[in-house]
Amino acid sequence: MTTHPTPDQVLVPAERRAHSRLLEKVGSFRRARDLQDSGLYPYFKPITDSEGTVLVIEGQSKLNMGSNNYLGLTHHPAVLEAGKRAVDRYGAGCTGSRFLNGTLALHEELEEKLARLLGKEACLVYSTGYQANLGLISGLVGRNDVAFLDKCDHASIVDGARLAFGATFRFEHGDLTQLEALMERHVDRGQLVIVDGVYSMEGDIADVPGLVELVKKHGATLAVDDAHGLGILGERGRGTCAHFDATNDVDLIVGTFSKSLASIGGYVAASADVIHFLKHNSRPMMFSAALPPFSVASVSAGLDVMVEEGDRRESLWRNTALLREGLLGLGFDLLESETPILPVVIGPDETTFRFWRRLFDEGVFTNPVVSPAVPPGEGRLRVSLIATHTSDQIAFAIDAFAKIGRELGII
């Protein structure tokens, strides 16, 4: 009979742990522990039930003002039913990569639908939006190439550039003058400029027309990560590039299914030649298990709902205006946000955590963002709207912000 070691038997001896230089950082990492001890720790909160705009956490209902479920599709009947049918047909998972044994007819159908919607020749679906950026940048940026990143780009873009063999340069947020100066220093190299379409912690929109002008001038390639633009901006929710009527001028459109499309997965849409190249050179896709059937089918159904139910987008923008006007009227700083992402600037990290905790106790769930994700002293609560929020729920959130903002001396 096979025996298994008990937990006590597999623990690393104390004397060995004491001499592990690699693990010294583990014992000295105190920031999260201190927050846990103070009761201000805001992360990894287990959700036991969800209705979209309402969550149950620690046995209590919380108004969900921290979701990326912009169109409210997580519980849409058509989305759920499509996923269930796919599970019945294909099973729980693909058990292999797209490159070998994990490509379903569903994947290719979704890719064709996305390509048509986004105005590109072809599309490649990844298991996550994070992997889409890793796969795109590391697949395209070779040893003699260079990538230019906005300093507010998503972490997946930064990590994709780290994985690539080429050089990386970052420019100040939205500073196209600095970007052009960097490009002029590397005119003899292949150049990829990649930016967020909508910035997830600032809520502002990239200057796509200005970027298009620059890349055309310098013979560079432009990629837009539209994770937070798809479903929100442009005709039928086609995203940031469509919003600026610049689809044909942007070489690559990247995105995720975990925001407006309420699932998981990612994609790159581009020319047929680029997609063919990525299929054979994008390691995060080639060596990861394929997106499971439920997710593929539910995303496909979500795209249909996004296009057909335009009133959801109208409700989202109406809700955004209500909350923005309420918070600005109270005196809160929302930076330069132009979208349903509203960064409520609080200040020092500790004050930000205290504000988050008081909101949580009042029944409002938000996302605290502190350094190093944002500059020191510029901590904020990332608030975002859902199409299915009611006016009463938004009023409830505004009242809570007003109460705590005055209590903590923010307004």
Catalytic residues: 200, 228, 259
Alpha carbons 258 and 274: distance in angstroms, whole number: 24
| DSSP letter, residue 234 | S
Alpha carbons 402 and 92: distance in angstroms, whole number: 46
Alpha carbons 162 and 311: distance in angstroms, whole number: 41
Sign (positive or negative) of CA dihedral 36, 41, 46, 49: positive
Phi then psi dihedrals of residue 142, to 5 deg? -90, -170
| 312 strand-pairing partners | none
Name the token pair of 2. 């096979």
Q: How far is CA 342 from each of CA 100, 112, 316, 334, 336, rounded to the nearest angstrom?
A: 42, 33, 13, 6, 9
Pairing of strands 167-171, 379-384: unpaired
Query: What residues have CB less than 8 Å from 325, skipping those under 6 apart?
Result: none
For residue 411, the tally of other CB atoms under 10 A from its CB is: 14
- Contact criterion met (CB below 8 Å) for 368 and 348: no
Alpha carbons 340 and 354: distance in angstroms, whole number: 24
| 196 strand-pairing partners | 225
Match 């994609």 to its residue by tokens. Answer: 267
How far is C-alpha 64 from the chain's CA centre?
A: 17
Name the token pair of 400. 């809570």
Name the token pair of 139. 């697949």
